[in-house]
Amino acid sequence: MMTQFDLLISGGEAILPGTGRTACDIAVAGGKIAAILAPGTPVQAARVVDATGLVVMPGAIDAHLHLGHGKDIARPRVPEDADRETASAAKGGVTCMIPYLMGTGPYEEIFDEVVSVTEAGARIDFGYHFIISTEDQLKGVPAYITDYGAPTLKIFMNNRGGEGARLGLPDIDDGFFFRLAEHAAAHGGMVAPHPENIEVAWVLRKREMDRDPEGRGGLAAWDATRPAFVEAEAVQRAAFLANQAGAPLYVVHTSSAAALDAATARRMAGDRVYLETCPHYLTHDVSWAGGDLGKINPPLRSATDCEALWQAIFDGDIDTVATDHVHRDASSKEGGIWKASPGCPGMETMLPVLLTEGHHARGLPLERIAELVSETPARLMGLSHAKGRIAPGLDADLVLVDLDAEWVLRREDVVSSAGYSIYEGRPFKGAIRHTFVRGHAVVDNGALVDDASGIGRYQRRKLGAEV
């Protein structure tokens, strides 16, 4: 009797672990990849998707974003918050996201509600990183790792001298960072710092603002207040302290050659350091004509830094690419460079950027892109038991890409509640045609599926011994 599958993706070429781009059919049952079949193998399926001319990639995992409500990026408050941003993710081929959960109280008090609200609206699967800022939260870290399935722990190294007040967070210091790393080491966690030496940044900021009180220097002025060495020093310090405590370090949003060099030096010294960068650091620099819309923290750097990060991707020094997606709308950028809110949206453009600027423009292999946004994030974030690769037994998180499709992003096309993109007007080559999350169609022939809201599920994570 012929096996009945829920879904068959036929006629395409898939990026398979260990073998790369391979002509095959993919059968799905019960939300899992059931079989990788020779092209044309006769099987029965409730739905057959013709992938002729398309490449099937593992769904992207965005391991760095902020999911909130309106201009608040602490947490989603209503299902629509998750619906809108996960719609933007799905359009960009992201099938799982790990936002930051931010607050000052114990996360035990809000976790169930946050997960419930997110699941009610999410079109893709998700985890959460907890931002650790208080003594009560520090006490809860062992349970967050083992009971809540949230082993990756964010800390803002720059929250000193009231700097965290903008986000409603208290001050911390290196002693707090070290104790967090000790808890991570003891219970199977990993520390993910925002690395900046804020005391030095204050000195530079005052000088720059005294010299240019109106912020006429724009993005270059913002970069001058928090230059690359401020990032690099904190990366070096964080890696040294975390590994003295016995914990691995996941450095978020690496933006500069200096930070890259600091991290690789600590690796050579024996520290466990993993590096993430973001698409905007690969494509934009301080000369970008979009001005204050490009205010991000860490700042956009020089064109030389962009190329250094691309080289690190080719060399294998950068482990992952994630978005640092912030969905505050463009009104948050008003008031000049000194007052504009940092951050930009990016989930719907991450994979297209890598296809366009990486694969087509620079020859970056599709297999390497799959490593950067799928396989390695799954491994480092504790999701590789279910996600990150196209292999039997794993979740059927699949993205069907038309590699040769050319298109231009217009503001009216932006799905995120941010309502704008730093990639508006930019030509892309490589378009997402279909996105599946555990076998559920969430993007079909380039259009969002109306009833996909609410299929996303919380993913409990546990780091593997290899991290």
Residues 311 and 376 in one domain: yes
Range of the domain at 418: 4-57+394-452
Supply the pLDDT for residue 3: 75
Using CA atoms, how far apart are residues 344 and 296, in angstroms rounded to an integer? 7
Residues 284 and 417 in one domain: no
6-20 pLDDT, tens digit each? 999 999 999 999 999
Residues 414 and 273 in one domain: no
- Report yes or no on 457 lying in a domain: no
Q: Is the pLDDT of residue 154 over 90?
A: yes
Q: Which of 381, 435, 465, 467 is nearest to 128 (CA)?
A: 381
Residues 53 and 81 in one domain: no
Residues 52 and 66 in one domain: no
- Report yes or no on 336 lying in a domain: yes
Residues 335 and 276 in one domain: yes
> Rounded mean pLDDT of 63-73?
97
- Report yes or no on 64 lying in a domain: yes
Q: What is the mean pLDDT of the chain?
A: 97
- Report yes or no on 9 lying in a domain: yes
184-220 pLDDT, tens digit each? 999 999 999 999 999 999 999 999 999 999 999 999 9
**Token digits for 58?**
């593992």
- Report yes or no on 459 lying in a domain: no
Q: Is the dihedral of CA 378, 273, 165, 329 positive or negative?
A: negative
SS3 per residue for 163-220: HHHHHCCCCCCHHHHHHHHHHHHHHCCEEEEECCCHHHHHHHHHHHHHHCCCCCCHHH
Using CA atoms, how far apart are residues 249 and 69, in angstroms rounded to an integer? 29
Residues 294 and 426 in one domain: no
Distance of CA 55 to the CA centre of its chain: 22
Using CA atoms, how far apart are residues 216 and 308, in angstroms rounded to an integer? 28
Domain count, the chain: 2
Residue 440: which CATH number? 2.30.40.10
Using CA atoms, how far apart are residues 153 and 307, in angstroms rounded to an integer? 30
Q: What percent of the chain has pLDDT over 90?
A: 99
> Rounded mean pLDDT of 158-163?
95
Residues 398 and 302 in one domain: no
pLDDT band of residue 1 (cuts 50, 70, 90) is low
Residues 11 and 149 in one domain: no
Radius of gyration of the chain from its Cα atoms, rounded to whole angstroms: 21
> Rounded mean pLDDT of 444-449?
98
Supply the pLDDT for residue 2: 67
> Rounded mean pLDDT of 410-434?
98
pLDDT band of residue 95 (cuts 50, 70, 90) is very high
Residue 264: which CATH number? 3.20.20.140
Residues 368 and 434 in one domain: no
Supply the pLDDT for residue 244: 98
- Report yes or no on 387 lying in a domain: no
Q: Are 435 and 350 in contact (CB under 8 A)?
A: no
> Rounded mean pLDDT of 136-157?
98
If you search the block for the tokens 């270059």, which residue do you land on? 220
**Token digits for 167?**
């986000």
Q: Are 387 and 395 in contact (CB under 8 A)?
A: yes
Half-sphere exposure (Cβ direction) of 332: Cα atoms closer than 13 Å? 20
Q: Which of 133, 136, 130, 138 is nearest to 114 (CA)?
A: 130
Domain boundary at 381, 402, 424, which?
381
Q: Are 392 and 408 in contact (CB under 8 A)?
A: no
- Report yes or no on 263 lying in a domain: yes
Q: Is the pLDDT of residue 115 over 90?
A: yes
Supply the pLDDT for residue 330: 97
270-320 pLDDT, tens digit each? 999 999 999 999 999 999 999 999 999 999 999 999 999 999 999 999 999
H helices within 289-424, ranges in order?
303-315, 350-353, 361-362, 366-370, 376-381
- Report yes or no on 462 lying in a domain: no
> Rounded mean pLDDT of 347-359?
98
> Rounded mean pLDDT of 402-408?
98
> Rounded mean pLDDT of 34-49?
97
Residues 235 and 373 in one domain: yes
Residues 306 and 350 in one domain: yes
